[in-house]
Amino acid sequence: MKFTWFNLMPWPYLPDDFREKHRSVWVDIDSRLFDPAKANEVYNSYMDMLEYAGTMGFDGIGVNEHHQNGYGIMPSPNIIAAGLARRTSDVGLVVLGNSIALYNPPVRVAEEFAMLDCISGGRLVAGFPVGTSMDTNYCYGQIPALTREKYQEAHDLIRRAWSDPDPFAWNGRYNKLRHVNIWPRPIQDPPPIHIPGGGSVETYDFCIDNTYSYSYLSFSGYIRAKALMQGYWDRVAERNAPDESPYRAGFAQTICVADTDEEAERLYSEHVSYFYNRCLHVYGGFADAPGYRTIKTIQTGALSQYAPPIDGYSQLTWKDLTEQGHVIAGSPETVRQRMEDLIKGLNVGNIFCLMHVGNMPMDKCMHSTKLFAEKVMPHLRDMFPDYKDDNRFWCKPLKKQAKPGSLPAEKEVAALVGGKD
């Protein structure tokens, strides 16, 4: 199993009456709710948490990209990942990912991911999302009906930029480049690639055909995810993929661990409520720009089948959220059992553990993280013994990595010219 400690980086100071006074947490969220001085503390404590998780035995620490979003203040995950690369070792850096249709030209992603891979000593796990309609269309102005074509071209360009040893010309529809020749190149050839998807057959096939891991990043939990993931595994079989390795798939799950089930509710319910009530308060008009989804995807009924609850999340109590699996919470034993259900039920080898929730303070987050790392994770390590050597979907760091702080002592520098310093 590969466990990634994942942080969305929510803004923790949305007011109590956010739902009533504001129409959306995303796209046109009121900028006056953002306080840059407080953000100094928020970013640094979130990065501290990711670094802490990096020492607790997780396989990866994860970041993602959102724009104009009150629950994800990370428009550039690469900036965060660069900071993490310097202050962590061994742990995978899961950047899930860069919305490659938004970069102009997309070789920028090939370059920045190569930099991250080199700085971190080959610890990059790369993600290439199409991006949500909110980010891609409404914030970044991409034409909905052309987004997927542009994404595909960006993908092809990045892959070739990583692999072609010679300069080449790229005459694409969306990118015209006479001399593609990126410096630096990634250590990994190529870094493992994870693709976040939302149930479209095209994305299933894209992952299967390219040996990419298909990630379902939902906030609705594992019970609601069954139909979608089954669709993926059916497709894996239909398309005659060489195996059904669980590492071909990943799933994001909100997880809160305490000493007992009751304690979990007492410690975490207000933060879970903050997330589901305030952070997921997205204006419906921004959900899905017409043309963003393919007709085929709409016709399969994917949207209604996998959609959030009809009345939204706001009416759901702690009991609803935990029983319906949106959140896995409770004692280490409760969480272990439910995680087993998730892992077996969905057949997923990559788990993106959403362990910081809403406005959770760092002490609670550390408590939950430590309990998960020490009392849950070890019991879940060998869920798929048949595939324990399947390393195709994970990073392959250098055996000997450079560490920060490698400069010689100033005395030695002075000795170079025989002088005193």
Cα-only R_g, the chain: 22
Closest separation in Å from C-beta 19 to another protein = 17
Single residue of 33, 298, 362, 380 touching another protein by CB under 8 A: 298
Backbone angles phi, psi at 373, to 5 degrees: -65, -35
Tell me, what amino acid is at 302? A
Q: Rounded distance, CA 406 to CA 335, Å?
A: 42
Using the rule CB under 8 A, give the single segment among 66-74, 205-213, 264-272, 280-288 that binds another protein: 280-288
Residue 109 buriedness (CB in 10 A; 0-12 / 13-18 / 19+):
buried
Does the protein bind another protein through residue 143 (CB under 8 A)? yes
Does the protein bind another protein through residue 402 (CB under 8 A)? no
Single residue of 39, 79, 146, 402 touching another protein by CB under 8 A: 146
Nearest to 91 by CA among 125, 64, 140: 125
Closest separation in Å from C-beta 286 to another protein = 6
Single residue of 281, 293, 326, 336 touching another protein by CB under 8 A: 293
Q: Rounded distance, CA 376 to CA 284, Å?
A: 37
Does the protein bind another protein through residue 138 (CB under 8 A)? yes
Closest separation in Å from C-beta 284 to another protein = 5
Does the protein bind another protein through residue 171 (CB under 8 A)? no
Binding mask 182-221 for another protein (x = CB under 8 A): ----------------------------------------
Count interface residues toward another protein (CB under 8 A).
25
Using the rule CB under 8 A, give the single segment among 7-15, 85-93, 143-151, 207-215 that binds another protein: 143-151
Answer positive or negative: Cα dihedral of 287, 6, 325, 223: positive
Closest separation in Å from C-beta 308 to another protein = 16
At residue 106, the 3 state secondary structure works out as coil
Does the protein bind another protein through residue 405 (CB under 8 A)? no
Residue 28 or 156 with smaller CB distance to another protein? 28
The answer to whether residues 97 and 129 touch, using CB atoms and an 8 Å cutoff, is yes
Does the protein bind another protein through residue 284 (CB under 8 A)? yes
Give 21's contacts (C-beta < 8 A, 6+ positions apart).
15
Give 204's contacts (C-beta < 8 A, 6+ positions apart).
197, 214, 231, 232, 235, 236
Q: Which of residues 9-48 bind another protein (CB under 8 A)?
A: 27
Does the protein bind another protein through residue 141 (CB under 8 A)? yes
Does the protein bind another protein through residue 304 (CB under 8 A)? yes
At residue 264, the 3 state secondary structure works out as helix
Using the rule CB under 8 A, give the single segment among 139-147, 266-274, 339-347, 363-371 that binds another protein: 139-147
Residue 303 or 398 with smaller CB distance to another protein? 303
The answer to whether residues 155 and 172 touch, using CB atoms and an 8 Å cutoff, is no
Using the rule CB under 8 A, give the single segment among 71-79, 163-171, 283-291, 350-358 that binds another protein: 283-291
Does the protein bind another protein through residue 291 (CB under 8 A)? yes
Single residue of 79, 145, 227, 237 touching another protein by CB under 8 A: 145
At residue 279, the 3 state secondary structure works out as helix
Using the rule CB under 8 A, give the single segment among 48-56, 76-84, 144-152, 363-371 that binds another protein: 144-152
The answer to whether residues 345 and 222 touch, using CB atoms and an 8 Å cutoff, is yes
Single residue of 167, 285, 361, 378 touching another protein by CB under 8 A: 285
Closest separation in Å from C-beta 76 to another protein = 21
Residue 310 or 417 with smaller CB distance to another protein? 310
DSSP-assigned letters across all residues of 169-197? EEE-SS-EEEEE--SS--SSSS--EEEEE
The answer to whether residues 395 and 194 touch, using CB atoms and an 8 Å cutoff, is no
The answer to whether residues 134 and 27 touch, using CB atoms and an 8 Å cutoff, is yes
**Residues listed for the chain:** 421
Using the rule CB under 8 A, give the single segment among 32-40, 145-153, 215-223, 232-240 that binds another protein: 145-153
The answer to whether residues 23 and 81 touch, using CB atoms and an 8 Å cutoff, is no
Please, which residues bridge with residue 249 across strands?
214
**Binding-site ranges for another protein (CB under 8 A):** 27, 137-138, 141, 143-146, 149, 173, 283-286, 289-293, 295, 298-299, 301, 303-304
